[in-house]
Amino acid sequence: MPAVTVNHIAVVVENLDTALPFWQTALGLPLGKVEDVPAEQVKVAFLEAGESHVELVQPTTADSGIAKYLAKKGAGLHHLCFEVDDIEAALAAMQAQGVELINDTPKERGGRRYAFVHPKSTGGVLVELYDRRVQP
């Protein structure tokens, strides 16, 4: 049985500067990088929480997917990301069990393959899967 671990927890916020003090100062998570991701029209702050991290995501435009999510649902938990040994095998096993996937085949960003599972099948939370094997 492959080990599945939490890679990150993503939280949508209206504003990183006002959201950060809780996570960084009150909770005490070390702040890693803060980066603009123009492709996704967001700015992301990464905080370290042991082997995992918290990603605070702030939309940078009014019409991105994240901005629409924020407008509709408000700030809060956006998704949980689990790391698996073999993403194809994990997706195939889920499909065999009737789990609804947003991506049937993994996408790739920066050598990292990932896919999303529909909240319908997870009890209401968007779940992201990461393949543990990072490609060069």
**CA-CA distance, 13 to 5, in Å (whole number)?**
24
66, 128, 129, 131: residue in contact with Zn ion (rule CB under 5 A): 128
Nearest CB to Zn ion, comparing residues 10 and 19: 10
Strands annotated E in the chain:
5-12, 31-37, 42-49, 52-59, 76-84, 107-109, 112-117, 126-131
Which of 99, 116 has the CB closer to Zn ion? 116
* Touching Zn ion, residues 34-63 (CB under 5 A): none
Residue in 13, 29, 54, 81 binding Zn ion, rule: CB under 5 A: 81
Phi-psi label, residue 111: left if phi above 0, alpha if psi -120 to 50, beta otherwise: left
d(CA 11, CA 1): 29
In terms of CB distance, is 25 or 60 closer to Zn ion?
Answer: 60
Specify whether the CB–CB gap between 83 and 133 falls below 8 A: no
Segment contacting Zn ion (CB under 5 A): 6-14, 15-23, 41-49, 60-68?
6-14
Give the number of other CB atoms < 10 A from CB of residue 55: 19
Rounded to a whole number of angstroms, the minimum distance from the CB of residue 11 to Zn ion is 11
Is 83 a binder of Zn ion (CB under 5 A)?
no
Q: With contacts defined by CB under 5 A, name the span among 20-28, 40-48, 64-72, 123-131 that binds Zn ion.
A: 123-131
Give 25 or 105: the residue with its C-beta nearer to Zn ion.
105
Nearest Cα to 103, choosing from 112, 91, 111, 93?
A: 91
Residues that bind Zn ion (CB under 5 A): 10, 81, 128
